Amino acid sequence: MAERFDVGVVGAGYVGLVTGACMAHIGHTVTCVDKNEGRIENLKRGKLPIYEPQLGEMIARNRKRIRFSTELHPLVREADIVFIAVDTPPGDDGAADLSNVAAVARGIGRSLSEVERERPLIVVNKSTVPVGSGDYVSMLIQEGAEEGPNGEVSYRVVSNPEFLREGSAVYDSLFPDRIVLGAEDREALHTMRELYRPIIEQSFATELDPRPTVAVPFVTTDLASAEMIKYAANAFLATKISFANEIANICERVGADVKSVTAGIGLDHRIGPRFLDAGIGWGGSCFPKDVRALMATAREHEYEPAILAAAVSVNERQRRLVITKLQRDLHTLKGKRVALLGLSFKPNTDDLREAPSLSIARILESRGARVVGYDPVAGKRAAALMPEMKVVFDPYEALKGANAAVLVTEWEELRNLDLERAATLMARPRLLVDGRNAIEPAAARAAGLIYQGFGRE
């Protein structure tokens, strides 16, 4: 039988809440701590600060094993393992801002100096942090301890990067491709393996399918390598998308269909079919931030990451291509009404961080267009971020009187739009720019729309 642990999670945001809920689901006792009192009070009432499928239900089902607090000190006194899961936003130079991580690490150190523990506290970096942050956190814990009554404290620092996809984060936590741990202490790695044993062995009860048929790979390495694995994975996926977009732009010029091309190359097991969808490009809280942070790390060591720089350049160009495609048929954007369909950076989330919709809307507004946005989940957040953009809560209302529409986020309901109804509601020239290549060109044209995709005729 797997050992049960008292687990602390500092940071009740996206990663922290998912981590805490899933730890409780596999049998551990969890306390989630956040300095935002309003957020904690809402969580106690069952109100989540984010939209993430299945997360609310999982917290409700495991309510006896998960609690919420603003107090760090009791957590340090009682927990066997503490995850640091706070935000690490990019600075002006792209490097990760570790001020939130630093504050938590010092706080852990101060609290450790005031309590008596039988075993070392295992402090786990779950936040995405640059290479070398494990040693940095260890230094800050010690600095914090020296501010307290007892400078001699016992702890171990572990790196445990997350690989969660927004919109399927609960599934990714319970059925991961791999679990990566970095530490210099073997006992700490053994404890972390016991923590994750129900997931590694897939021995927990679940209503989610499909469950892996083999044990989840458990990768152990040193701190720096674990930290690099996270950045390298996201940088590779972002580069793969930018590569698909580069091919799409060539396809448009030579008369090829990028859908057929990527389907053909994706059958090569060395390449694979995922992350080869051409279109507007990548956004969100991870890819842009992590690629910039990795580039900043490289430049800090006097190395210019040319491939990563090219991936970023291609991605920025894809968003500008939307404007080019609109101007091709609208000629001028002044006085034109443009509907943006989908505002979150991807389906099944309300996250607007680095969302293509917002940068596209700002360019359109600056050029005199009237922008109307629709999203089934992120509409209210988008309206707060861009009050100059009219946000409606029905896709067909957004399309009414629009000269053009841009499919920005491929929500299922937008993939399945009634195209004939859309054409009837729109004003000439009835242009549809398919930013995700999610709609069949022939069907759109048959409905009376001018169709423009990416890398397609």
The whole-number average pLDDT for the span 11-25 is 96
Ligand-binding site membership of 88 (annotated): yes
Asked if 454 and 279 count as a contact pair (C-beta separation under 8 A), the reply is yes
pLDDT one-digit tens code per residue, 45-82: 999 999 999 999 999 999 999 999 999 999 999 999 99
39 has binding-site annotation:
yes
Chain centroid, CA 208 distance in Å: 21
Any known ligand binding at 353?
yes
Query: Do residues 394 and 308 share a domain?
Result: yes
Instruction: Compute φ and ψ for 419, nearest 5 degrees.
Output: -65, -35
> Known binder of ligand: residue 367?
no
Mean pLDDT of the 7-25 span? 97
CATH of the domain at 312: 3.40.50.720
With bands split at pLDDT 50, 70 and 90, how would you rate the model's confidence at 146?
confident
User: For residue 259, is it within any domain?
Assistant: no
Q: What are 430's two structure tokens?
A: 């009835």
Say if CB 13 and CB 85 are below 8 A apart: yes
Domain-ending residue, one of 175, 200, 221: 221
Same domain, 176 and 295: no
pLDDT of amino acid 132? 85
Cα–Cα distance, 189 to 220 (Å, whole number): 8
Q: Is 239 annotated as a binding residue?
A: no
Q: List helix spans (H) across 113-185.
A: 133-146, 169-174
Q: Is the pLDDT of residue 457 over 80?
A: no
pLDDT at 151 over 70: no
At 1 the pLDDT is 59
In this structure, the answer to whether residues 206 and 309 fall within a common structural domain is no
Tally Cβ neighbours within 10 Å of residue 178. 11
- With cut-offs at 50, 70 and 90, classify the pLDDT of residue 96: confident
d(CA 88, CA 98): 6
User: pLDDT by residue (tens digit) across 121-138?
Assistant: 999 999 888 888 899 999
Please count the other Cβ atoms lying within 10 Å of the Cβ belonging to residue 370: 19
Please indicate, yes or no, if residue 171 is contained in any of the structural domains: yes
Mean pLDDT of 125-153: 87
Contacts of 376 (CB under 8 A, 6+ apart): 411, 413
The response to whether 72 counts as a known ligand-binding position is no
Domain membership of residue 235 (yes or no) is no
346 annotated binding-site participant: yes
The answer to whether residues 298 and 161 belong to one domain is no
Following DSSP, what letter does each residue of 273-286 receive, concatenated? STT---SS---SSS
Q: Is 204 annotated as a binding residue?
A: no
Q: Are residues 212 and 291 in the same domain?
A: no
For residue 75, which of 112, 45, 44, 36 has the smallest C-alpha distance?
112
* pLDDT score for 206: 84
Q: Does a structural domain hold residue 87?
A: yes
Mean pLDDT is lowest, of 115-119, 198-202, 226-230, for: 115-119
- Say yes or no: 48 and 189 in one domain: yes
pTM: 0.92
Domain closes at, from 199, 221, 243 = 221
Q: Looking at the structure, do residues 217 and 311 belong to the same domain, yes or no? A: no
Flag whether 163 is marked binding.
yes
Same structural domain, 332 and 432: yes
Single out the residue in 169, 196, 221 at which a domain terminates.
221
Percent of residues, the chain, with pLDDT higher than 70:
99
215 & 363 share domain: no
Residue 216 shares a structural domain with residue 294: no
Structure tokens at 292: 């910039």
Q: Tell me: pLDDT of 111 over 70.
A: yes
- Residue from 22, 32, 251, 286 carrying the catalytic annotation: 286
Q: Is residue 226 part of a domain?
A: no
pLDDT at 68: 98
- Give yes or no: residues 439 and 305 share one domain: yes
- Name the DSSP class of 157: E
Peptide bond before 395: cis, by omega within 30 degrees of 0? no
User: What does the mean pLDDT of the chain come to?
Assistant: 94
Residue 169 lies in a domain: yes
Cα 163 from chain centroid (whole Å): 9
Q: Check pLDDT > 90 for residue 115.
A: no
Q: How many domains does the chain have?
A: 2
User: What mean pLDDT comes out for the span 262-282?
Assistant: 97
For residue 275, being part of any structural domain is answered with: no
CA pair distance 261, 316, nearest whole angstrom: 23
Q: Has residue 429 been placed in a domain?
A: yes
Q: Is 286 a catalytic residue?
A: yes
Is 283 annotated to bind ligand? yes
Q: Are residues 216 and 356 in the same domain?
A: no
Q: Which domain holds residue 68?
A: 6-221
120, pLDDT greater than 80: yes
Instruction: Give me the helices (H) in 9-82, please.
Output: 14-25, 37-44, 55-61, 73-78
Half-sphere exposure of 405 (CA within 13 A, CB side): 31
